[in-house]
Structure formats: C-alpha cells, structure tokens
Structure 1
Amino acid sequence: MTRVVLLGSSPGPNPPADRPLLTGLPGSPTVTGRLHGQLAALDPRPVTIVRADRAAFHQDYPGTLVTTADLADDLRAFADAIEDTTESLLILPADSLIHDELIYQITKSKRGALALVAKEPREFREGEGDLNGDGGEGDDERIPIDEAEPEISDRFFEELPVRARVGKSRVISVGSAYHAVTRPNAVLLGPLHLHHKHAPTLAEAARDLAGMAHLLGREDDLIQLLVLCLVRRGVSVGIRGRRDLFYRRVASQEAADDAVAAMAEFDEDRAKLNNAVKGADGFFTTYFVSTYSRFIARWAARRGLTPNQVTLISIFLGVAAAGCFATGTRTGAVAGAILIYFAFVFDCVDGQVARYARKFGVLGAWLDATFDRFKEYVVFAGLAVGAALSGQDDVWTLALVALSVQSVRHLLDFSYGAASRRRPPSLLPTLELGVSADTELREKLAERKLARQTGVRGLLKMWTKAGRVRAVHWARKMIVFPIGERFAAIAITAAFFEPRITFMTLVIWGSIAAAYTLTGRLVRSLA
C-alpha cells in the first residue's frame, strides 16, 4: 500500500479558486474528485492538508481532512501525517490533473525519493554550465560556475517559481524566498514519491522549516519546500519529466478547461504500452522483438489472457523447438530455430502483458524466472539428441559445458544481486536549513565528485561515460550475452550449421560474458 497526502493549500503564485474546479469529463465532475478516484486503489483514505477557508471543497471526499491556518501549520500538519508511516508516500497537490499511467510510473520507481520536474527552457535563462558535482547537462556557460553567485530567482515557469537546480538524474539544490540557489534551472511540478525510510527525516526537517516560516514567501510552493528539506538533509531525490504523459496544476476554471483540452491530445494508452517494454533490454530484443511484441501483448491483454497463460505458450513453444531439434534433420533444425525464436517472443510478451494489464504475482515471477532456464536447457538436450541421431560424436560433452557455463553465470547474477542490495547507499552532503546560500553544499558536492574521479571509482566513471557512445552502449549490452542474444545465437547457428557449432558458440561467448561480468562486479565491489 501507499500513503497518499494531498496538499490542498499549497502556496503558489495564483490565488486559490473560490469554487470547486470542474473537469467536464464523464464521471469526474471536479478536479479534486477525479484525483481521489485515481488514488483510491493506492490509498482509499488519503490525508488532505488544506487551509480552513478551502476545507468546504474537500470535506465530502473520503480520508482525513486536516485544516491549517498558515504555512507553518501546513508543514507541521504534514510532519504529523507522515512521521510514523511504514508505507511509501505519494505527495501531490489536490489541484492536479494527471494521467493514471504517470501516477503508476512514479509510484513504481525504485528510487528512494522521486520528484516530477520540468526544466526551464534554455532560452528563458542565461547561459548555463555544469554545477560542480551534479553531473548536469553541460550547457555552454558564459560565467564560470566558480564565479556564479547563488540567487533567489524571480523567474516563473508554468506559474511556479524557478528555484530548483537539477542535474542529469537528481535534484541538486532547492531554494525559497530565503534559500538561494546557484543557477536554478527547473521547477518542481508536484508529485513526490518517497520511501518510508525517509519519512522521519522529512518530518523532522519540515518541523524545523516551520520554525522559519516567517522567512519564506507567499510564492514558495509546499512541494518545493519539502524537497528542499530532503536535499538539505542529504536525501538523494531523483527526477523524471512528464515525457509522453500529462501533468498540470490548475488554479482557476479557465486553467482547468485548458488543461483538460491539452490532456486529450495525449495518447495515454500508447504511453502505457510503450512503458510495458523494458527500457534496458539487449540489442536483439530491442530491435527484433520489442518493435512488435508490445502489440501482441496489448492484443492478449484485451482478450483476457493472463501473463501466466502467455508463459505457458512460451514453454510449449520451447519444448516443441527442442523436439524439432531432436529429429536430427535439417528441416527439424530450421523448424526448431523458428519455434525457439517465437518462444522468446512470448517470453517477452508475458512480462509486457503483466506491466500493461497490471497483473503481477509471485507465481508469475517464479514461472518466468524458472522456465526461462528450463526452455534453454531442454533445447540444449534436444540439440544434443539430434546430433547423436545424425552421427556426431562428443556433442553431449559440449552441451554439458554450455549448460555449466550458463548455470555459473546465473548463480553469479543472483548472488551479486542479493549482495548489492545489502550495500549501504552512498551518502550525500548535508546543509543546515538556516543557511541561506547553497555555496557550501555546492563545494561539498564538488569535493565528492573529485574524490569519485580517482582510483577504481574513476575507472568506473570513465566506463559509464563511454556508454554514452551508441556503439559502445550496444557492444556492452551484447557482450554480456543476455537471453535474447543467446536464443538468437541458438536459432541462427542451429538453422544453418550443425549442433556442434551451436554449442561452441554458446561456450565461447558465454565464457567471455562470464569473465566480463565477473570482472565488472569485482571492480564495483571494490569501488
């Protein structure tokens, strides 16, 4: 479950509406009512924090309504609402118009903290450069970063104050009417997702900031202030944009009407379908399977097929491929190659159906992981039997070596994954809320960045940067011999050559992949 906190009194540049904002959408008469309906599956009784003069607009909705008098009250009420939670948190303004799919993507993030941001267009601001330590965009800069002074920006973007500095993957610094930021370049749109382990830290910081409320301005947004608290306490707040989905905050009926019209121009189902495809797949899967498998997944989901049923289809095709290979004939080899390819296609489809239809389960995850290995190994057996029937010698030895290589690789994968989850996170520098300028924070980040550019960490940083080159990126994907490449290698070599070549390919490529992976993990373990 997720605890939802709605901010019905978030300060901002616009005055609150004097009546409920209508959407004009069937079944969703008001903006707030629509949002409650979207969040019911996450938390049927959310906490809503709202100023007393706005409470009447929220009292008919389920959940806990907390009325406040001012910004200090908002911060203290928020701290009370979250400090004892044992569930992840979703915090967002009550005047949000948002796609269901965007809510899903934000809440399923593996980041400990994630904020939805929008970068200020470059033409809106002066030339920029990389904030030391943030891994930023690397824009051309007119003034060196060391000479730039922290500022309290008076610029607005999407009617929100531009008082956040974001890098490539996280929020670097956040400001307010009191807190100055070096080269702010973004706004915090609204949704904030937080792992429950950070809730006590945020609650404590929110109470501390409440004591400084007299220093803050009317335009300071509550979400912005909460992210300020997290960043100043050393919590890494990841960022994401809206991409091909819609989010907007509305403060008037005219703004709500415009937002509803703009939202209708987005194809949410297409975005949902694209999100069903893993973003980190290998070369073969990306270009020879996922280009069309997503449409099979949507077709299957709309006809009520479950992910487990699709997994059974994949298993059947894998066993059928092994049977064809076991005939020892060229016709059987070609048929087996075609079947093993489609067995892999449906192996991808089952996960895509699960993500598209939101049908997840322990049984499905176990079936998928277990029978991926089963299909692979039964095909090994089929190839070896076919080779024996066709009079080839010593193929069983090669088959056993190939099986052993893959088994060792899977063992390394699972054991490293378990070990890395126990590794403590890298700590970020902190800065007291009472300090106005973020200069000290920037200097600490610069020192941290410099320290991470030496020794083993420096080598890993260089290797990561090399991955930005497209050819290197795909070479690194392929060298680890993922399941898509393995099934492709089996299909191609079995169709055109004898099984001995197939097993030699699996052994040689698998051994190179094992050595590469083991080296990388040893280096990362020492970093």
Structure 2
Amino acid sequence: MTLAVLSGSANALDPTDANRLEDELVTALHAAGAADVERLGDDPGRLRELSRRAHDAGERLLICAGDLVAHAGLLRILATEPGGRSTALVVADPAGDLRDDRGKLLPAAPGAGTVRYLGAVCLAPADLPTLDKVADRPDLFAALLEAGLVPVATPVRLLKAERVRTTAELTRARAELAAVDEDRALLRLAVKEKDDFFTTYAVSSWSPIVTRAAARLGLSPSAVTWLSVLLAVVSALAFWQASRPAMIAGGILLYLGFVLDCVDGQLARYTRTFGAFGGWLDTMADRAKEYAVYAGLAAGAERVGLPYAWPLAVTAILLQTVRHMTDTWYGALHDEAAARPRPQAAGGVGARLSAASNRVQGETGSAAYWLKRIVVFPIGERWALIAVLAMIFNGRVALAAVVAWGLLAFAYTGALRSLRSLSMRVGVLNTVDTARHRDDGPLVRYLLGRAGLPAPLAFAVLGAAAALALVVSLLTGWLDAPAKPALAIAALLVLAAGLPARARHDGPLDWLVPAALRAGEYLLVVAAGLSGSVPPPVVYLLLFTLALRHYDLTARMEKGAPAGRAVGAPIGWDGRVVLLTAFALAGAATAGEAFLAVVTGGSFLYNAIADWRAGGRTT
C-alpha cells in the first residue's frame, strides 16, 4: 500500500479552514489507497526518514502539498500509475515551467513550458534514493528534477485540482469540485486521451457504456480480454467458412471484439485494477487475435479456390511482427532520449522532423494530426479495414490491403524514425539485457559472439537481406527449389549477425537490431518453406509461434512483467536457424518447421501458464 505524506500546510488560510482542508486531504489520500498518512508539519527532515521507510517496504511514497484542493479520484490515479513509475499531478499552462514530452515531465525555460506542477507527486520505490538526497530542499519537486527524476505526467483533464492561498480561493475551488460529476469524469478519463481515428470515433464514443456495465457486473479487465479473444476466434472461424453471411458475421464479430479490446483497458483505468501480468496478457492477446484472423482469412480464401491467400497471410504476419519490433524499440529510444537528452544535431533533418512531429501532435483534431495517426496503420485501422473488405469482398482482398498499407506504413515510419533517431544521439538496446532481447542462444553467446566484431546492425541487416534475396529468387523462378547451396549460404549470412553480439549496441540506429534479427530469421523460415515445398499453413504456424515468443520478450519489458522462466529459451534464434537449415538440407523441411513450431509454441505456453499460476492476477 502507498505511504502518503502531507507536506506543509495552508498557513495563509484561517486556522479553521486550514484544519478542515487538511482533514479532507487525509480522507482523500486514504481513499486513494494510502494505508498510512503522515503529517510532515514543520519538520522537513522527517521526510528522509519516511522515504527510507517506504523504500525498505518497497512501497510508493505519495507527497501532497497541504494547500491542495483536488478530487480524491485524481489522487487515486496518481497513486496507482500502472507502470509503477513516479508520477506528478500537473495542469495545462502555456506559461508553466514544465514540458510534457510524450507523457514525461521535463524542466522548461520560463514561459516555454506546457504544464504546471500542482503540488502532488507519487514516487516509485526505485526513485526514493533520489528523494533521500534532496529531502531537505524547500523546492522539493524542482530539486527532484535537478537530481534526475523524470516523472510521468498525471494531468487534471476533466477533474479539478488547485492550490489555494486564501479563503476565497478555497471556496471557489470547492465549488468547482462540487460542480463535477466525479464518477462520470473518471469514466471518460478511462478512455485514452489521444487514440487513433477509428478508435476515437467508432469505439470510444460509446465503449464507456460497456465499461461501466462491466464494472457493475464485477468483471475483471482480464475477463474482458478473454471475451475479446473468444469473439476474435469465432470471427476467424467465420472467415474460414467464407460464405457471404459468414464473412459479414465475421466482420461484425471482429468489430465487437475490438470494442472489448478497448474496454479491457478502460475498465482497468476506471477501476484502477492494474497488474503487470494483465498488461502482458492484453498485449499478447492483441497479437494472437490479429494473427488468428489472418489465418482464418487465408484458409477461407483457399476454401473457395482463391490462390495466393496464404502467401499474403505469411507476408502480413512477417511484416507486422517486424514493424511492431521497431515500434517497441523506437518508443524505448524516445523515452531514453527524453530522460537523458543530448544536444541534437543543429539544423539537421532529424531535428526538423522532430519539431514538425511535435507541432502536429499538438494540433489535436486537425487534418494533419489525424493523417499522421492514420498513415502509421494502427490496430484500429487494421481491424476496420479487414472487417469492411472481408464483408464486401473476400479474405484475399483483405489480406492484400493489409500488406499494401502495412508496407507503406513501414516505409514511412522507418525512414522518419531513423532520421529522428540520428538527431537524438542516444542508444537504448545497451541499457537492457541485450542478449535476451536479441534472443541469442548458446551458439552466439559462447561461440560466435566471441568474435567481438563491431556494427551489429550492419550484420543483422546483411542476414535479413540475404534471406530476402533468396525468397525473391525462389518466388520469381530465378532459382529452382530446393536450391540447397543458396539456402546454406543465406543461413550462414543470417548467423553472421551473431558475430557482433558482444559489441555495445549503443549506436543511434541500433534500436533496429531486434527487428532486423527477426526479419532475418522469419525470412529464412519462408525461404526454407519455399525450398522444401512446405505447406503454407505450416510455415504460417511456425511464424505465429515465433511471433508469440518475440512479443513475449518485448511485452514483459513494456509492461514491467517478470522476466519469466527460460524453458525453451536457450535454443535462441541461432539454434532455430541451424536446426531449420539442417532439416531443409536433409529434405525434411516440413518436418523441421512443424517440429520447431511445436517446440517454440509449447515452451511459450508452458512458460505463460507457469507464470500465470505463480504470479498472475485476474486484473
């Protein structure tokens, strides 16, 4: 439970009003989840003692100014940040001394800020040593920022909060609080403030009704997630049937499944029932549902005699997985740049793109803003496109549209993000367990990596390019299957990506290494399938299980979930490449891909179930 501290008091108020306000804050802090509320009074040195107490207990410490008038719901939001990060209460203010950068609070020059601090900050256990260093400073929050704290912003938005100095201000602030329907506001706040176009207008406009109903029924966010999975699976089965009524039903079910996919997050935010495992489950379910739908569309198109549907599904899953890897690591890179900024390249293209992007992001609701949100092809737009085209045309058309738009989005985001990352001049992959997120196995960890070569991205891209060239050669007939020598050479070039595994991955573009490694491995799976005439559904199944494994790695990082067990992990991408190539060269590519699918999928399921039983929650 969170430990709360009332810092200072409203000394300018009448003593009766000041005491009443303090009592109201204590009540609100208890309602926010604080098991214990300490009054700091005139002894700021006691804050260090309380900080150490919270740190030793592994608890958050919520520090609240004694002159704050705020809805209890805001303090609860502050105290229950889902990522377990430090967060501060702020209000929009063009003349503020803070800047909100992608949800992170950074100091700003006077008059150049976008938000203003409102006197309440909740510190995560990991940041309490920073508080210990500056606990005696009267300008506590500014001191924390100077010491390196980068808190998450908790904006006031639809609720009310203000610091008061006079009885008149106190009366006005209380009247403003009373004029707001707090529960209704909290329900609207559960909807993401900036979401995608389709989600904003076709889902979030009415999904809060479903969210409130789910809360009244006592459903957990994870229960809603499972209902969403069920609808997506039934939708995929309907697409497999491929009749016009079935395709229409599949499109409707897919849309309803996406509504529930939004509701589970809204329900978690509305009820403040978060869990690292629940966040992990939501991410994994999203990807599994989407890729199951791809399979249903392909199987349905094949069922009615439409060729090339499975190759399109294979391309779609490969493309989306590689894209998502770049999304994950670019987001991590951007957060690293915000937390530890370096001087950007003056006048460079990347710096100008960053400025333009930030300007467009600030123009919420404008045509440019929505175009920027749509062109990257987020999940809402993908599911809407699939549903509409499947209902009107067929599964092959829907898959072809997903591939075409996905390629456009990949080219757009890849080019712009690469230019922006060059201007940021920071690395991110070196800040985590690099070998784990590369998915290196023993061959790379203990043998190939000993070469210690530099340029990890160049080697990873070389392997992916070699595998892609082989796939194109087999598809165009330039090489005739089985083309075993070419497959062996491509596999060796893919494995060469292990030679710089021990080099520092701190280059401005090294955040692309995981995506390039995934591309190399997945393209080799496709090449081996073409070389050995493997049935496309088997190729797709292996790619599906590999995608789950790699999403598992990134989702655990993003959601703060435990690292999990290592059963099945030691084989690594390098071991899978060796086994796959050996099976293909032996003329048993189908058996090899099926075997790897069973091993990869089985180890993923075993680890997930074991972790669920050991530490999962139904939230």
Residues 417, 260 of structure 1: CA spacing in aligned structure 2 closer, same or farther, 3 A cutoff?
closer
Hey, what's the Cα distance between the residues in 1 that align with 2:92 and 2:317?
Answer: 49
- The alpha-carbon deviation at position 510 of structure 1 amounts to 1.1
The unaligned stretches of length 5 or more in structure 1 are 24-28, 51-67, 69-73, 120-135, 138-163, 175-180, 210-221, 429-447
Matches within 5 A, 1:464-475: 464-469=358-363, 470-475=366-371
- The verdict on how the C-alpha distance between 1:201 and 1:453 changes in structure 2, with shifts beyond 3 A counting, is farther
* Deviation of 1:455 (Å): 5.3
Which residue in the other structure is 1:401 paired with? 315
Q: For residues 182 and 366 of structure 1, what CA distance do their matches in structure 2 show? A: 40
Equivalent residue for 2:213?
299
Question: Structure 1: how far apart are the matches of 2:116 and 2:100?
Answer: 14
Are 1:511 and 2:440 matched, yes or no? no
Question: CA-to-partner distance for each residue in 1:2-32, whole Å, 9 max, x for gaps?
Answer: 332212x4365x1551587458xxxxx9425
1:491 to 383, 387, 394: 387
TM-score by length of 2: 0.58
User: For residue 247 of structure 1, what is the aligned residue in structure 2?
Assistant: 161
State the Cα distance separating 1:523 from its structure 2 match: 3.0
Match of 1:456 in 2: 350
Residues 412 and 15 (structure 1), Cα distance of their counterparts in 2 relative to 1, 3 Å cut = closer
> Alignment partner of 1:371: what SS?
helix
In structure 1, how many angstroms separate the alpha carbons of the residues matched to 2:210 and 2:416? 36
Query: Quick check: 1:103 aligned with 2:102?
Result: no
Q: Is the 8 A contact 2:89 2:156 kept in 1?
A: no
The answer to whether structure 1 residue 4 and structure 2 residue 4 are counterparts is yes
112 and 362 in structure 1: CA distance in 2 versus 1, 3 angstrom threshold = closer
SS of the counterpart of 1:290? Answer: coil
Deviations 1:224-272 (A, max 9, x none): x223434555655776653321234567888766654442211111211
Partner Cα distance (1:358, 1:186) in 2:
24
Aligned match of 1:309 in 216, 223, 230?
223
CA distance in 2 between partners of 1:295 and 1:412 (Å): 35
Please state whether the residue corresponding to 1:359 is helix, strand or coil.
Answer: coil
SS class of match (2:206):
helix
Using a 3 Å threshold, how does the CA distance of structure 1 residues 419 and 95 change in structure 2: closer, same or farther? closer
Q: Distance in 2 between matches of 1:232 and 1:508?
A: 47
User: What CA distance in whole angstroms lies between the structure 2 residues aligned with 1:268 and 1:274?
Assistant: 10
- Give per-residue Cα distances to partners, 1:152-206, cap 9 Å, x unaligned: xxxxxxxxxxxx74556657579xxxxxx78999975422334455544454445
Q: 1:319 aligns with which of 228, 233, 247?
A: 233
> Does structure 2 conserve the Cα–Cα contact (< 8 Å) formed by 1:35 and 1:96?
no
Q: How far apart are the structure 2 equivalents of 1:194 and 1:453? A: 37
Displacement of 1:37 in angstroms is 2.8
Distance in 1, Cα, partners of 2:179 & 2:218: 28
The one-letter code sitting in structure 2 at the alignment partner of 1:82 is S
Query: TM-score, with normalisation over the residues of structure 1?
Result: 0.68
Match of 2:50 in 1: 81
Task: Give the Å deviation of 1:492.
Answer: 0.9
For 1:256 and 1:365, how far apart are their aligned partners in 2?
39
Separation of aligned partners in 2, 1:463 and 1:422: 18
Residues 44-443 of structure 1: matches in 2 within 5 Å? 44-50=35-41, 68=42, 74-82=43-51, 85-86=54-55, 87-94=59-66, 96-108=68-80, 112=86, 114-117=88-91, 119=93, 165-166=97-98, 172=107, 188-196=117-125, 198-207=127-136, 209=137, 225-230=139-144, 233=147, 242-249=156-163, 259-417=173-331, 425-427=339-341
Separation in 1 of the partners of 2:45 and 2:345?
A: 38
| Separation in structure 2 between the aligned mates of residue 468 and residue 97 of structure 1, nearest angstrom | 28
Count the aligned residue pairs. Answer: 413
**Identity across the alignment (%):** 34
Conserved 8 A contact 1:35-1:94:
no
Say which is worse superposed, 197-206 or 486-495, in terms of deviation.
197-206
Deviation at residue 494 of structure 1 after TM alignment: 0.9
Question: Is the CA contact (8 Å cut-off) linking 2:298 and 2:309 kept in structure 1?
Answer: yes
Bigger drift between 402-411 and 255-264 goes to 255-264
Check whether the contact 1:22–1:253 (CA below 8 A) recurs between aligned residues.
no
1:83/1:457 CA distance change after superposition, 3 Å: farther
Counterpart contact for 1:90–1:193, Cα < 8 Å: yes
Write out per-residue CA displacement over residues 303-342 of structure 1, whole angstroms, 9 at most, x where no aligned residue: 2122222222212221221222222222221121111111
2: CA distance between counterparts of 1:479 and 1:496? 23
The answer for the alignment partner of 2:518 in structure 1 is none
Q: Which amino acid aligns with 2:181?
A: D
Q: Partners of 1:107 and 1:95 in 2: how far apart?
A: 18
- The answer to which structure has the higher helix fraction is 2
SS of match in other structure, 2:413:
helix
Once the two structures are overlaid, the 10-residue window that deviates more, 374-383 or 30-39, is 30-39
CA contact (8 A) 1:92 1:190 kept: yes
Counterpart of 1:152 in structure 2 is none
Amino acid at match of 1:472: A
Amino acid at match of 2:414: L
Q: Is the 8 A contact 1:117 1:239 kept in 2?
A: no
State whether structure 2 residue 24 is matched by structure 1 residue 31. yes
Q: CA deviation at 1:80?
A: 4.2
What code does the residue aligned with 1:93 have? A
- Go from structure 1 to structure 2 and tell me whether the alpha carbon gap of 1:79 and 1:11 turns closer, same or farther (over 3 Å shift): farther
Query: 2:15 — aligned with what?
Result: 17
Deviations 1:491-523 (A, max 9, x none): 111111132211110111111222223334433
Q: Is this contact kept in 2: 1:5–1:48, CA < 8 A?
A: yes
Note the C-alpha offset of 1:373.
2.1
Check whether the contact 2:30–2:37 (CA below 8 A) recurs between aligned residues.
no
State whether residues 118 and 188 of structure 1, in contact with CA within 8 Å, keep that contact through their aligned partners in structure 2.
no
